[in-house]
Amino acid sequence: MDVSVVNLFFTDQSPSVAVSRRGAHSAGMSRKLVCYPPIEEARLEPLREAAAPVEVINAASIEEAFVEIADAEAFFGKITPGLLAAAKNLTWIQSPTASLEHYMFPELIEHPATLSNMRGLFSDVIADHVLGMMLCFVRHLHTYIRQQPHGLWAPVGGEDERQPFAMGPAYVSGMDRLHKRLADCTLGVVGVGAIGAEICRRASAFEMRICGVDSESRRIPGVLEEVWPVDRLPDLLAHSDFVVIAAPQTPATEQMFRMPQFEQMRPDAVLINIGRGAIVSLDDLVAALDNKLIAGAALDVFEVEPLPKDHPLWRMPNVILTPHVAACSVKIPERHLATLLENVRRFSRGEPPLNVVDKAIYDRTR
């Protein structure tokens, strides 16, 4: 995605710095949308067209952002406590990201402005990544890829188990038993939002059995008619061959997966995390793998990123690690811009934005 959008600055200054520089826009001027960090010029023109008659200010510095946000009604970018305190008329804030764990702070949660994010842009891309991970495990592709540089012909189940077809259909070899179909597996999805729902749809195409838990009552017509409440997580863990974490990071989900949850999983189950790293205790996951409480893991997100080079997960043959790339695709930047433009049009027309965030779920005082 566009570096100018994603590499957000966390620099902040006291509102007092901005007070002395205010006055560039009087109270009688048009409605205003402030962007900071600044967006690239190629995106600026379509943004101004979508916003009209709302004025778009592309702040080049944090100092300019402080001045301009004072009388702005809308903001796109990385809002900080100082910027929020300087804003007197703010009614809408658009986050440039889907994840919000590093975006939220108490004053923002309490502020009356509507907050929207970029969720839904990555759902199909991440779902593809998850299906790839599951296919690796049922077909042992990760094992064979590791053998390939060594010229090693070693089928899982053992070469001596290979039998001629003349043995007939009644004979089941070790290789047959250990190479599965996704259709023979149960998928359990933790967090059935936009990403989780797309994972379920793709899994349904592979004829997998599917169950899911979520904090909200949901259904996916034709795929999953009932999503269980979170208190049924133990049931999901007990029945699933693959447990996929697709939940956001909130106070309720942080460290959601520790040793008790791994003990509830099947010993032949695989944990997949494409949600947020803080949801899984890596120390407990390593212990669960060492003690064969679960069969494997596939992770795209981690408690600490980058994952340290000396972390034991790197050396585990039953673990697939990808460096936080599940959401990467050439299509994402254009989707990002399209969502921003649509929400700016809605703001200009006085309509609610897409992807409104329930800020209360990030409140740590509840």
Q: Which among 31, 311, 324, 346 is annotated as catalytic? A: 324
Q: Which among 40, 305, 334, 351 is annotated as catalytic? A: 305
Q: Which among 119, 202, 276, 336 is annotated as catalytic? A: 276
Q: Decide the pairing of beta strands 32-36 and 270-273.
A: unpaired
Cα 322 to Cα 201, 301, 312: the distances in Å are: 23, 8, 15
Q: What are phi and psi of 243, to 5 degrees?
A: -110, 115
* Residue 141 CB-half CA count within 13 A: 12
73 given a catalytic annotation: no
The Cα–Cα gap between 210 and 230 comes to 15
336 given a catalytic annotation: no
305 given a catalytic annotation: yes
Secondary structure of the chain in HEC code, one letter for each residue = CCHHHHCCCCCCCCHHHHHCCCCCCCCCCCCEEEEECCCCHHHHHHHHHHHCCCEEEECCCHHHHHHHHCCCCEEEECCCHHHHHHCCCCCEEECCCCCCCCCCCHHHHHCCCEEECCCCCCHHHHHHHHHHHHHHHHHCHHHHHHHHHHCCCCCCCCHHHCCCHHHCCCCCCHHHHHCCCHHHCEEEEECCCHHHHHHHHHHHHCCCEEEEECCCCCCECCCECCCECHHHHHHHHHHCCEEEECCCCCCCCCCCECHHHHHHCCCCCEEEECCCHHHECHHHHHHHHHCCCCCEEEECCCCCCCCCCCCHHHHCCCEEECCCCCCCCCCHHHHHHHHHHHHHHHHHHCCCCCCECCHHHHCCCC
* Structure tokens given for 288: 């669960």
Q: Which of 142, 76, 135, 102 is nearest to 254 (CA)?
A: 102
Q: Which residues form the catalytic set? A: 276, 305, 324
